[in-house]
Amino acid sequence: MAIESALRSIDGNIASPEQSVQAAAEWTTEDFLSAEPYPVPDVTEEMISAFVEKMTSPSAKGGNVIPGGPPTPAGQDGGPTPEPTAGYPYPPPYNQHEVLVPYTTYPYSTIGKLFFRQGGGSWVASAAAIGNNGIWTAGHCVHSGNGQPSGWSTNLVFVPAYKDGNAPLGQFTMRQLFCRTNWYQHGNPGGLFEDMGAAILNPLNGRTLSQVVGWLGFAWNFPRNQVWTSLGYPAGPPFNGARMWQDTAPYANDGAVPGSPAPIGIGCSMTGGCSGGPWVLGLATTNYVNGHNSYRPNNQPQEIYSPYFGDNARSLMQLVVV
């Protein structure tokens, strides 16, 4: 609780207690296969109507980036090239397929499957390496959003380049979890506009996560009209969670949940287990995380939303890449 109280006032972020290396536990293959896909949070109009809050979309500030790099550290200059669209009615367009290149190839090596326990269950979701020992995911993957210390996920491990039950780059156990305080306190739907999560992991065999897999860059305060590639491990039918999928889609519309800035929607039919998978600007070129799989309206299975990445996302990111 002392750690949580100390961090509660740092730019709206909150942290779990640190977990000792001795307490960190790897998962067995049987554990991998028995974990359930964490459901993508559904939002109904009735849930939204229970909250009264004026929403506005922020004006673009020109955009800011921090570059990523492959396992052999090398930065990348420049920024993503915006591809403006006018938005789309439901169902918006998207191009979705299984990732066919070796997952251990950068930048796919930075994407992994997330295993954790929360609320008495064992769950799977998705996450991405963003530098040093830091990963980025959805807030609901690290905390249930119930406003209580008991809501923190436990026994969390990140398995980069997971495929068919195998962990070719190893398992990285958690040291500490972080999320936005709005998610921690309000959950679904009141905290979905800041459904952001991150974690600091323990090094593996004396090497940091970024030394093993590389890391994705980070972009914030960008215009909403972009084209992203969403990646993750959908595990709910018709998917089975064994393989990584990617979905390339343009901006479709703004989300209608309470809170400001409003989330961003794209076309995507990935299911539970994809939560926390990154939205990447310039995949295989600039490789900037600029969103992630967060939630969908319960009657729109071909659309998914991410919190807008403003200064709030940057402040959370900085806590885990130090």
Where residue 181 sits, what CATH number does that domain have?
Answer: 2.40.10.10
- Is the residue at 79 inside a domain? no
Token pair 């593996």 is at which residue?
204
Percent of the chain predicted with pLDDT > 90: 81
Nearest 5°: CA angle at 286, between 167 and 65? 105
- Is the residue at 155 inside a domain? yes
DSSP state of 204: B
pLDDT value, residue 21: 74
- Is the residue at 262 inside a domain? yes
Quick one: CA dihedral 64, 130, 15, 6, positive or negative? Answer: negative
pLDDT band at residue 3 under the 50/70/90 scheme: very low
* CA-based end-to-end distance of the chain: 22
Report, as an integer, the average pLDDT of 306-319.
98
- Is the residue at 9 inside a domain? yes
The tens digit of pLDDT for each residue in 49-64 reads 765 443 344 444 578 9
pLDDT value, residue 127: 99
Residue 231 forms beta bridges with which residues? Answer: 246
- Is the residue at 304 inside a domain? yes
The tens digit of pLDDT for each residue in 241-261 reads 999 999 999 999 999 999 999
pLDDT band at residue 47 under the 50/70/90 scheme: confident
Report, as an integer, the average pLDDT of 12-33.
86
Q: Find the length of the chain.
A: 322
pLDDT value, residue 276: 98
Tally Cβ neighbours within 10 Å of residue 81.
11
Instruction: Please compute Rg for the chain using Cα positions.
Output: 18
Query: Dihedral through CA 231, CA 182, CA 296, CA 256, nearest 10?
Result: -130
Q: For the residues of 80-102, what is the DSSP string, one character each? A: ---------PSSPP-EEEE--S-
- Is the residue at 57 inside a domain? no
Please give the residue range of the domain that contains residue 235: 2-50+64-72+84-320
pLDDT band at residue 265 under the 50/70/90 scheme: very high
- Where b means 16+ CB within 10 Å and e means fewer, 139-177 reads bbbbbbbeeeeebbbebbbbbbbbbeeebebbbbbbbbb
- Range with lowest mean pLDDT among 73-82, 251-260, 293-302, 312-321: 73-82
- Where b means 16+ CB within 10 Å and e means fewer, 251-272 reads bbbbbebbbebbbbbbbbbbbb
Query: What is the rounded average pLDDT for all residues in the chain?
Result: 90
d(CA 82, CA 294): 22
The tens digit of pLDDT for each residue in 143-160 reads 999 999 999 999 999 999
Structural domains in the chain (count): 1
